Amino acid sequence: MPMAERPYIVGNWKMNGTRAMLSEARAIDRAAQRYMKVEVAIAPPFTLIHAVHREAEQIGVGAQNCFHGPEGAHTGDISASMVADSGAKFVILGHSERRIDHGESAELINRKIDSALEAGLRIILCCGESFETRDAGRAEEFVLDQLRASLPDISDAAERLSVAYEPVWAIGTGRTATTDDIAAMHAAIRGLLDEKYGPETSANIRILYGGSVKPENAREILSTPEVGGALVGGASLSAESFLGIVVGASETEDA
């Protein structure tokens, strides 16, 4: 089955996890071997990437951020090539927690994408509107502007790209967007990707949904048109709940 057709379920551990969590990663990896029609990955904190990479036989391992330039005098930062060297195959960029907590601009995210591509990494580019923006009826316009400002220009890069739509108000709140809203936003994002890269290349880019995805709602969300997977925060921290989402993904028609 072509890569872009497999549902892609990615756990973003955020700032959670010490070595005690390696057993969860191992359990996720072993169980993922039973669901080969689903592509499963986790992005642990930097401190665990190498250890998870060594444990992982089936799942992909990635990072949650990288610096926008090559090596040098940047105390506390981690470059894209260091991320790749630690065993990561992808990096999440543009997460709203980075945009909001660290003031990351679309232009900075674009530079990080270039660095990550240069280092051979795949990318999950996040976008999403605040509650105020949705309430004001400007969600689509806002998300498309975010993407226009960050998407890489070269269509070769599209093969290594996924986009994650994560409405800020749905992250960690237990509230999810309705499947109608998700379908409408994903269709708008697909329109932009078609326009930028052409429909053939765009078809290789999966659009994930993120924001309070759980075993109970995974199947419905993942069956929504244009939803190619999920970026999961809280529910990815235990193998049991994360695997519940993987099972939900395996039951969708695309899987």
User: Which residues contact ligand 13P (rule: CB under 6 A)?
Assistant: 12, 95, 166, 171-172, 210-213, 231-235
Output DSSP code: residue 37: T
Closer CB to ligand 13P, 47 or 173, in the complex: 173
Residue tagged active-site, from 53, 68, 95, 186: 95
Closer CB to ligand 13P, 81 or 213, in the complex: 213
Tokens standing for residue 194: 């078609």
CB of 126 to ligand 13P, least distance (A): 7
CB of 166 to ligand 13P, least distance (A): 5
95 is catalytic: yes
Q: Which residue has the tokens 């709140």?
A: 173
Tokens standing for residue 115: 């660095």
Which has the closest alpha carbon to 246: 50, 38, 89? 38
CB of 215 to ligand 13P, least distance (A): 12
Closer CB to ligand 13P, 93 or 205, in the complex: 93
Closer CB to ligand 13P, 46 or 69, in the complex: 46
Q: Which residue has the tokens 């195959």?
A: 89
Q: Cβ(208)–Cβ(228) under 8 Å?
A: yes
Residue tagged active-site, from 39, 129, 166, 186: 166
Spatial distance between the Cα atoms of 34 and 37, rounded to a whole number of angstroms: 9
CB of 73 to ligand 13P, least distance (A): 30
Q: Which residue has the tokens 């499963």?
A: 40
Q: Which residues, 6+ apart, have CB-to-CB distance to 23 below 8 Å?
A: none
Instruction: Provide long-range contacts, Cβ within 8 A and 24+ apart, for 153-158.
Output: 155/197, 155/198, 155/201, 157/113, 157/117, 158/193, 158/197, 158/201, 158/202, 158/204, 158/205
Closer CB to ligand 13P, 17 or 233, in the complex: 233
CB of 239 to ligand 13P, least distance (A): 16
226 is catalytic: no
The separation between the first and the last C-alpha atoms of the chain, rounded to the nearest angstrom, is 9
Output DSSP code: residue 5: G
Any idea which residues carry the catalytic annotation? 95, 166
